[in-house]
Amino acid sequence: MSLLLRAASLAALSVLAMPLAHAEADTFSYAQPDKVRVKSLALDLTVDFAARQLAGSAELQLDWRDRAAHELVLDTRDLVIDRIEAWRIGGPPHAVKFELDAADPVRGAALRIALDGPAPAVRIHYHTLPQASGLQWMTPAQTAGKKQPFMYSQSQSIHARSWVPLQDTPAVRFTYRAHVVVPKALRAVMSANNDARHALDGDYRFTMDEPIPSYLLAIAVGDLAVRETGPRSAVYAEPSVVEKAAKEFSDTEKMIEATEKLYGPYRWGRYDILVLPPSFPFGGMENPRLTFATPTVLVGDKSLVSLVAHELAHSWSGNLVTNATWRHMWLNEGFTSYVENRIVEAVYGKEQADEEFIIGADELRREIAATPPATQWLVPQLDDADDAASDFAYVKGAWLLRTLEARFGRAEFDAYLRGYFDHFAFQSITTEQMLDWLQPNLLDKYPGKMSLDEVKAWIYGPGVPADATVPASPRLTAIAAARAQWLAGTRKALKLGAKDWNTHEWMYFLDGLPTDLDARHVAELDAAWHLNGSPNAEIARRWYLAAIRADYRPARAQMAKYMTRIGRRYLVVPLYEALAKTPNGLAFAREVYAKAKPGYHPLTQASIEKVLAGKPSGD
């Protein structure tokens, strides 16, 4: 029997043994966790850049809930299964039969392993294919250093199955260990214990003793340097980027301490950050112990480090207390967005936190106006797990928690939220379970403040209630007045007073521009403030959207560079969508995409190709 089967963390296993009640099955997984659950995973993988594949084995330790079951069903997508072994209780491993079902375009293919009883473990020998949706393989030319290749994973929402055969559902949590062999001179890192002083010898071992869901399984390999940013935090990045990143993220320890004061101890040991190449499709990914972050937030003034606050907040909401299925993603993202704003307030002040919330609330209002009511619930019906990541999950969810704070008082709500994290720690839950805890521990404890029906109206209804409030921001109010005067022709662009605007104030100004703004206004704004080619990715996104809507062609050369350099979906997909609305814009978008595609992650490619095929993505 393997080392994994002989040794396991007793603390982790005691949590894994707890019953996890669920109100519904996960429609995006073939797994049958009511019959058997994966308790722990041991990976033994070799990273082959030439073949663009991971090859090796995955050993799963199993907890049988139904002792009469004789089949283990796992999730896969584009995996080649070479052979499978199983253990009998007290016996050696032996070969077992298996079959892969026909692949579904969303869920992939079920791997069905036939067993003659409740085997304590199975070992699957397999390799990935180059098109694995959860991996991106980059040539040296696609990296910052231009010398070494780079590979990284993105498992959320259901892409872990494209590089590991497992129960790919957030309802199942497991510990893991990994042995990873990579080319010498490259560094491997995972969502586990990373050793900043590890020799670049090509042989790496990792351990994650806290139980995590599959979407938090992560790996990256490349030319990575390390800089410490605190007693329990460091930054990993390519050598040409690492110093800039360490400076930008130097407040990480302050953020950890601020969150601990609010919601209890940080339970994951270290909090390191990996800055990925620009093709990374998200702003950040909260992989435990090693947040993956986009380089687009490295602007030199810390104005976009709320992204770190967000991913850190996931260490409590998401990683610690997890949505049981992707319909309930607001339990991850809404709670995290609320905690993020509290961290920003604690570290950078209430004015910045309020500005960030107002911008998010305005964005949500625009989304509400353009979205069918049935899709505005916090617990929507989904056709694809990746569709769960919407402004409703993030902003509407946070707005609900902000309303609870206002009704019950900050001290009372903070105590409730800390108790919530403690009670559901290392569990995966549904909205109904959250409500079952909310009622006796907050609503009934302080009667007359807010009813369960009012809370449910937020969750199971469209839009936001009419009495939902936002904070006041005198600076944003003044900017809105200046914008209105400029649009009315009573103030010149040079007289907007924008010299001292911060990033969020520019975002607010540009977000509020009318969609029918003419090219003359856009040209005047560019001449006054030189927005074309802005190195700030958030400001540039909004500027290029205004330029596209006004058909301001002088912006296109810099826009093309931006769309080719950046692969973050939130930043580039809206530009493709806006361009695709006119024949000339669509032709330009297709021309840009032809050049940019090799540097995009498969998830970004899929989103853009829907747009260019006439199916605008909601991403």
What does the chain come to in residues?
Answer: 619
Listed in order, strand segments (DSSP E) in 129-282 are 135-138, 150-153, 173-181, 187-190, 203-213, 219-222, 225-230, 233-237, 272-275
Long-range contacts of 87-93 (CB under 8 A, 24+ apart): 87/1, 87/5, 87/119, 87/120, 87/121, 87/122, 88/116, 88/117, 88/119, 89/117, 89/118, 89/119, 89/120, 93/123
Q: Say if residues 218 and 292 touch (Cβ distance below 8 Å).
A: yes
In angstroms, the CA 115 to CA 15 distance is 27
Looking at residue 460, the DSSP 8-state letter turns out to be S
Q: Say if residues 41 and 60 touch (Cβ distance below 8 Å).
A: yes
In angstroms, the CA 482 to CA 173 distance is 52
Catalytic residue among 126, 152, 338, 394: 394
Q: Which residue has the tokens 């800055």?
A: 275
In angstroms, the CA 187 to CA 150 distance is 10
Of the candidates 293, 322, 324, the one whose C-alpha atom is nearest the C-alpha of residue 309 is 293
Q: Say if residues 214 and 193 touch (Cβ distance below 8 Å).
A: no
Name every residue whose Cβ is closer than 8 Å to that of residue 288 and which is 6 or more positions away in sequence: 191, 208, 210, 212, 216, 268, 315, 319
Q: What is the full DSSP assignment across 150-194?
A: EEEE--TTTTGGGTS-B--STT-EEEEEEEEE--TT-EEEESS--
CA angle 243/249/252 to nearest 5° reads 135
Residue 394 bears catalytic tag: yes
Dihedral angle at the C-alpha atoms of 370, 466, 346, 420, nearest 10 degrees? -100
Of the candidates 394, 385, 318, the one whose C-alpha atom is nearest the C-alpha of residue 133 is 385
Catalytic residue among 311, 345, 405, 505: 311
In angstroms, the CA 231 to CA 126 distance is 39
| Residues that are catalytic | 311, 394
